[in-house]
A and B are shown apart, each in its own frame.
Chain A
């Protein structure tokens, strides 16, 4: 075997994975919670936080993609069937696409609705789109649909990791866990 079974992801890859994972779960919860609120100062505050964190996630994903391209991850276990390998690669590609597309549609939708995104209330992110109500509503739908796709892919991602750990008893899950650095 060219790749030892105990090969881990790099500490940077692990940190980015878990940091982004926590932010995504928090953002999903916040997103569903805030849209149901009646208009109030709290709601406007939460929307701002959601946007700020969204920009942050986007930047972390840029770093993560750069790291991923320049650092080869551990290979998939030998026992995986070709169809499982295809599914694993497709799922990971889709996660990267969604991690870019969801913050981008959020930002564009915010612009189209006439709310500029000002990162942490300090750094204004330029508006790529002019105010356009119909376009804003469309982008909102796209943002929501992409998030449902994300939830489905995440269920597959977590389910697969648990299957690898408990059924296949390989190191796919543990090599992404903190500690045991090589």
Chain B
């Protein structure tokens, strides 16, 4: 009887402790959203200085996880002031009318190991598209680190209009790379 009670107790304890670890406190200084693209055959990269994210992730119940990320597009860092100003213009992000890009998860699927697939809706410049983001999760001390990348077509979101619409100088493919660190509650 005592043994059964102990076994039951430890089962509950494990279950309880597993559910207790929910990563939700995003650490902005440990997080980064960057991007890469090709310009005249040259690999370029940049990042966004400001973004906010809310997420809930319990490794024991990944299907219940959710994430919302909002990127302040005017905070773009292309590496040059000229590039930053250009990106804010109407032909690119049109940050005046569309200041943020938003990703909102609709479902998380565990692929085994530390791999996950996060389905969601990505909204840039007034266009919303369904995307599936491959991501990995790793525990680092008391924090959880989510990393992944997603390749999108800038043309799908009308990013680069007018003279930029052709993809000969600035390629259509844009890789978005992210690293979000969140502490457990």
List A residues at the B interface (Cβ < 8 Å). Answer: 39-42, 44-45, 48, 113-118, 121-122, 124, 131, 133
Contacts and interface: CB of A to CB of B under 8 A. Distances in A.
Nearest to B40: A48
A115 B164 CA distance: 19
A118 B86 contact: no
B32 to A, nearest CB: 15
A30 to B, nearest CB: 15
Contacts of A131: 79
10 contacts: A39-B82, A41-B166, A45-B169, A113-B80, A114-B44, A114-B45, A115-B44, A117-B42, A122-B41, A131-B79
Contacts of B44: 114-115
B39 interface: yes
Given A44-B170, A118-B42, 15 more contacts: A39-B83, A39-B86, A40-B163, A41-B163, A41-B166, A41-B168, A44-B169, A48-B40, A48-B42, A113-B80, A116-B43, A117-B42, A118-B40, A121-B41, A133-B79
Interface of B: 39-45, 79-80, 82-83, 85-86, 163-164, 166, 168-170
Provide the main secondary structure of the chain A interface.
loop
Provide the main secondary structure of the chain B interface.
mixed
A181 to B, nearest CB: 41
A38 B83 CA distance: 11
Output the residue of B44, B80, B166, B170 with the most chain A CB within 10 A: B80
Contacts of A45: 40, 169
Given A39-B82, A131-B79, A44 B39 contact: yes
Given A40-B163, A41-B170, A45-B169, A121 B79 contact: no
Output the residue of B79, B85, B163 with the most chain A CB within 10 A: B79
Contacts of B164: 41
Contacts of B85: 39
A44 to B, nearest CB: 5
Contacts of B86: 39
Contacts of A44: 39-40, 169-170
A162 to B, nearest CB: 40
Output the residue of B41, B44, B168 with the most chain A CB within 10 A: B41
Contacts of B163: 40-42
